[in-house]
A and B are shown apart, each in its own frame.
Chain A
Amino acid sequence: MNELLLVVTIAGERVALPAAAVESVVELDTLIPVPRAAPHVAGLSALRSRVLTVIDCMRSLELGASDCSDGIREAAVVELDGHHYALIVDLVEDVVEALSDPAPMRAAMGPGWERVSQGMVETETGPLLLIDVAALLAGATEAKAA
């Protein structure tokens, strides 16, 4: 059976998240900043009485910052090691079926994309970059330290 992918737009680029990793797609309204945390941690938010750690994907990819000033943001909720995260994305599009296994990208990508890439997958709407959610959550700082 082929994997299902959630197509989202980050920094203007359409990419795919493994749909199995995504619990839900939500609209965040409140955002409580976490002072002193890594730059890609945009803050905390509450979803159905759970605390979500909100990750700014653009910062995580070192592509600038998402604009959070207008209040409501779309985000994909994922769980890693018992913690819930909300990934701020520009837009959530649709769920599609992967038509191939991820294949390594041979062309050079930006360093941010390189770090979170799991390879390229074919879909009905063309090739998409498959994102490694854990790498996206770890952000730029940890990757440098490692």
Chain B
Amino acid sequence: MDDLIADFVAECRDMLEALGGEIVAWEAQPDDRARLDNIFRFVHTVKGNCGFFDFPRLEALSHAAEDALADVRAGRRHADGTLVSAVLAIIDRIAEMIAAIEAGEEMPAGDDSALIEALAPGAEGHAAPVAAAVGDGHGRAASAPRTIRLSVELLDRVMSTVSDMVLARNELARRLRESSTEVSVDSAFERLSAIIAEMRDAITRTRMQRIENLFVALPRMVRDLSAELGKQVLVDIEGGDVELDREMIEMIRDPLTHIIRNAVDHGIETPADRLKAGKREIGLLCVSARQSGNQILIDIQDDGRGIDGAKLVEKAISNGVIEKADAAQFTPREKLALIFEAGLSTAKEVTAISGRGVGMDVVRSNVERIGGIVEVDSTPGQGTRMTLRVPLTLTIIPALTVSIGSHHFAIPRSAIEEIVRANGESVTLERLGGAGVATIRGRRVPEVSLAEILGLETDVAESDRRLIVLRPAGGDVYALSVDRIHDHEELVVKPAAPAVMATGLYAGTTLADDGSPILLFDPAGLAQVGGVKLEMQERAARIAEGPASTGPKTIPVLLFRGLDGARRALRLAVVDRIEEVPVSTVRTAAGQLRVQLGEAILPLAGGGGAELGDEKLRLFRLSDGVHEIGYAFKEVIDFATIEHDVIHAEKPGEISGVSLINGEPAELVDAHWLFATYVGAAAQAAEPLVCRIPGGDPWMQNMLRPIVEAAGYRVIGDEDGGEADLVIAAQGDDVGEAARAIFLRSELEPAGKKDESIYRYDRAGLLMALKVAGSGRGK
């Protein structure tokens, strides 16, 4: 409530300040319509707000003034000098009261009826002089924190200057590196660098606003809405102190409002219905915000009737959004996601509240436009949870740099689904009527060539290109073929000049590390210019899926050069992301090399006694779903697939084997060994890993499978037919009738004496069991 009042006071003070000149001018020219309107708007706002806050005196005053001014506006009354001074007297009194509210003092004593009477037509002479000024700021100054009000424009200017400064520093750093300089210059530059970084931090913070500013209006909105609908709703707000870029707050205001309207309107039932369903008659709406990495998560959860997935599907079929045959394949999550399709609503009738012109489809596309995601989760009868995930700020975008010939471009990382080689085994390219169609693992997606869109020459044959599968905000996937893929960079993006934006292809410009400008693509714009129709639903493309999983699966790997210069490969699926950290964050602690990443400390592998360099260290962040490991490397070479035979290593170790990748031998890093060695001892799985289907379990596929293969087994998934001699499953799984079964558990200690499962990083135990099972078959 205090925040609401603070808002109200701030708003009034702003308006009063702006009115300062208007009032005087109006006094001189009572006929001036524009000025009259401004003053009217002020008293109207005050009246509206103080009804809510229970300030009866303020309300009476503003109401009287509003009435009188309304008469003047309607032409029923002429604004004579008496009226003007009466209104001015009221505005002065309002200002006094607001000052008192702000300082937390009692209202100035006095009777307002004289002022109100003075407004009446034909009232004589001037109103009683305004009571002596009370609370003119002396008390206030002591209590309030020292703040000044700045225009947002000025802040933006400072921000952009600081960004420029950072870029200028980078350039200077480059020049310094090129020319050998004295140590004293270097250390001075280091200091300057640190100061600039600190300044950038501080300025970034000025742009941050507590999300409270967004939440503060919600209780009022829900109250009005529920009153209108005859419902009772309690709002619970959490995490108002989470900070978010000011611009971002504005961008999520509408989507959030709409989701809440929906929750109150469609989600929460009427009190009678709730009682019938055995719930409390007051519905509960929880809105909470929290920060997770560089994302903000906003949950909107209600305990209403939930979303009926079956009903959504029915409606979608009858509206022709989906085909009946496809609908049968939908997972519950996909059914719920239908709510984001245009023109769907399970509400029987469109009410005044929800029928305001924006649907959930607009919500989704608005959130995706700013690089966010909306997720929905619902249990019929129990409620719905919507989650908005939005990035912290708009100005720094993770991007992938690609090239055509000698031209470099950047693509926002958020739109990229996957990257495949045009001549990979699971990819085929076809031309239908001149249009490109790529089939990637059974999924048909339209393919466009970046070189063609841009009208550039390319020297790379079509089959040697890379395909980037893109999903633009609110649209469907398409594949973009590019010559080469370079690097992952965090780019400070600035808007490009109108003449450049007019092409519709670009989202902005940025400077690369080497100081040359790079254009950042707008994936939706690329698709449009490339002639890809985005409104087509992805489901139509799924038809091709069915019999596609034939032939040996190729394994995507990331080819890189280790710190010691060796060519190595890691299965792509275990690599969470690539990080770059200062070498100073790497320390030996608790007997292991460890690296600090944000607030997490991870064991660091791949160091291998090699020099870490003296500035930046690049590392892969590997994850097995529960634990994480850092793996240091020198540079990424390429994405590739293992297509040749693997020669397995004799002894288990960091390297599980060698294979030819892209025509040259590369060592395969054994992720299982890494995890077993680096986190094995410390592993205390918080919850047992659920491994019902080994074929769909990434841990089994990426870590266990190589070991089992190395032990001489042919690995089949559970979708393949035929008899298996051995079944490996998570502890507690039902494997049906199998000759032999090995159960893996995630705890170090067995659950009891009868527990014969094997700890999943117990390599020796696992190999023994594999051996026993293998010899058992021979008998």
Write the residues of chain A forming the contact surface with B, with a CB cutoff of 8 angstroms: 30, 32-38, 40-41, 44-46, 48-53, 55, 81, 83, 85, 137-139
Can you pick out 11 interface pairs between chain A and chain B where the beta carbons lie within 8 Å of each other? A32-B519, A34-B503, A35-B505, A36-B453, A36-B455, A46-B517, A48-B171, A49-B511, A85-B497, A137-B499, A138-B499
**5 further interface pairs, Cβ-Cβ under 8 Å (given A36-B454, A49-B171):** A34-B503, A35-B453, A46-B511, A46-B517, A51-B509
A34→B453 CA distance, assembly (Å): 12
Q: Could you tell me the distance in whole angstroms from the C-beta of A26 to the nearest C-beta in chain B?
A: 14
Which residues of B are found within 8 Å of A137, using beta-carbon distances? 499
Minimal Cβ-Cβ distance residue in B for A81: B498
- Specify which of B170, B497, B529 lies most central, judged by the most chain A CB atoms within 10 Å of its CB: B497
Minimal Cβ-Cβ distance residue in A for B407: A33
Contact A35 B499 (CB under 8 A): no
The answer to whether B292 has its CB under 8 Å from any CB of chain A is no
Q: Could you tell me the distance in whole angstroms from the C-beta of A134 to the nearest C-beta in chain B?
A: 11
| With known contacts A49-B511, A83-B498, A32–B455 Cβ distance under 8 A | no
Contact A36 B515 (CB under 8 A): no
Contact A49 B407 (CB under 8 A): no
A88→B511 CA distance, assembly (Å): 21
Q: Could you tell me the distance in whole angstroms from the C-beta of B404 to the nearest C-beta in chain A?
A: 9
| With known contacts A49-B168, A49-B171, A38–B499 Cβ distance under 8 A | yes
Contact A32 B454 (CB under 8 A): no
Contact B407 A36 (CB under 8 A): no
Which residues of A are found within 8 Å of B497, using beta-carbon distances? 41, 53, 83, 85
| With known contacts A36-B453, A46-B517, A53–B168 Cβ distance under 8 A | no
Q: Could you tell me the distance in whole angstroms from the C-beta of B681 to the nearest C-beta in chain A?
A: 48
Contact B503 A36 (CB under 8 A): yes
Which residues of B are found within 8 Å of A55, using beta-carbon distances? 499
Q: Could you tell me the distance in whole angstroms from the C-beta of A123 to the nearest C-beta in chain B?
A: 30
Contact B502 A35 (CB under 8 A): no
A41→B497 CA distance, assembly (Å): 10
| With known contacts A32-B516, A45-B517, A46-B516, A53–B500 Cβ distance under 8 A | yes
Q: Mark B506-524, 1 if CB is under 8 A from A, else 0.
A: 1001110001111100000
A32→B511 CA distance, assembly (Å): 11
Contact B456 A30 (CB under 8 A): no
- Specify which of B454, B494, B515, B516 lies most central, judged by the most chain A CB atoms within 10 Å of its CB: B516
A83→B509 CA distance, assembly (Å): 11
Contact A32 B517 (CB under 8 A): yes
Write the residues of chain B forming the contact surface with A, with a CB cutoff of 8 angstroms: 164, 167-168, 170-171, 407-408, 453-456, 494-500, 502-503, 505-506, 509-511, 515-519, 529
Which residues of A are found within 8 Å of B455, using beta-carbon distances? 35-36
Contact A35 B494 (CB under 8 A): no
Q: Could you tell me the distance in whole angstroms from the C-beta of B405 to the nearest C-beta in chain A?
A: 10
Contact A34 B500 (CB under 8 A): yes
Which residues of B are found within 8 Å of A52, using beta-carbon distances? 517
Which residues of A are found within 8 Å of B499, using beta-carbon distances? 37-38, 40-41, 53, 55, 137-139
Which residues of B are found within 8 Å of A30, using beta-carbon distances? 516
Contact B529 A35 (CB under 8 A): no
| With known contacts A32-B517, A37-B503, A44–B456 Cβ distance under 8 A | no
Q: Could you tell me the distance in whole angstroms from the C-beta of A31 to the nearest C-beta in chain B?
A: 9
Q: Could you tell me the distance in whole angstroms from the C-beta of A89 to the nearest C-beta in chain B?
A: 18
A87→B295 CA distance, assembly (Å): 41
Which residues of A are found within 8 Å of B498, using beta-carbon distances? 81, 83
A37→B506 CA distance, assembly (Å): 10
| With known contacts A36-B455, A46-B516, A46-B517, A51–B511 Cβ distance under 8 A | yes
Minimal Cβ-Cβ distance residue in B for A30: B516
Which residues of B are found within 8 Å of A36, using beta-carbon distances? 453-455, 503, 505, 529
> Which listed residue, B494, B502, B529, touches A51 by the CB 8 Å rule?
B494
Contact A49 B500 (CB under 8 A): no
A50→B511 CA distance, assembly (Å): 8
Q: Could you tell me the distance in whole angstroms from the C-beta of A30 to the nearest C-beta in chain B?
A: 6
Which residues of B are found within 8 Å of A138, using beta-carbon distances? 499
| With known contacts A48-B168, A49-B168, A32–B515 Cβ distance under 8 A | no
Contact A35 B456 (CB under 8 A): yes
Which residues of A are found within 8 Å of B500, using beta-carbon distances? 34, 37, 41, 44, 53
A32→B515 CA distance, assembly (Å): 12
A137→B503 CA distance, assembly (Å): 15
A22→B509 CA distance, assembly (Å): 22
Minimal Cβ-Cβ distance residue in B for A44: B517
Minimal Cβ-Cβ distance residue in B for A139: B499
A121→B511 CA distance, assembly (Å): 40
Minimal Cβ-Cβ distance residue in A for B503: A36
Which residues of A are found within 8 Å of B167, using beta-carbon distances? 49-50
Q: Could you tell me the distance in whole angstroms from the C-beta of B716 to the nearest C-beta in chain A?
A: 48
Minimal Cβ-Cβ distance residue in B for A32: B517
> Which listed residue, B171, B502, B519, touches A38 by the CB 8 Å rule?
B502
A44→B518 CA distance, assembly (Å): 8
Which residues of A are found within 8 Å of B505, using beta-carbon distances? 35-36
